[in-house]
Amino acid sequence: MKYLVGVGDMKVGTRKDVIITYALGSCLGLMVYDPVAQVGGMLHAMLPLSKINPEKGKTNPFMFVDLGVPRLFKEIYDLNGSKERLVVKIAGCGQPLGNNEIFKIGDRNYTVLKKLLWKNGVMLAAEDVGGTISRTVSMDLSAGRIIISSNGKKREL
């Protein structure tokens, strides 16, 4: 099955699934995979902290890094994923408008994620973050393979 993750969205799946998201700019793309259980998921979070709009956080927690990240991990655990085996990778967190971007959303998304992971003893295996490019991310759950596409080029993360 092929799942599309929109902005402010999250999907999880099993070994026969492919998960894809488009147009990661300042948004956080978080990919988590358990190679033994062959389960994983992807989050496309827009904003770092839900405190700016608690009501929106209740109706769509995947919009926010602080709410979406724990939900993604919980759903993977519910599919028999194990924290000790998880391979965690990220993409996005850029500055699509260049260095003059006032709010630095990409930097803030990255900082909030790193704090959450550190606090929970989770290490990043790889990242493709920053810059001004837009990224498309495809995750094949049969092997945990993640492909980043940007500027007409593809590379494995």
Catalytically active residues, by annotation: 27
Measured on CA atoms in the order 119, 30, 35, 5, is the torsion positive or negative?
positive
DSSP category for residue 72:
H
Q: Classify the phi-psi angles of 70: left when phi > 0, otherwise alpha if psi is within -120 to 50, otherwise beta.
A: alpha
Q: Would you say how long the chain is, in residues?
A: 157
Question: Tokens 């999250």 identify what position?
Answer: 10
Segment holding 153, helix H or strand E: strand 153-156
- Only one residue has tokens 């190679």, namely 35
Beta bridge partners, 88, equal: 32
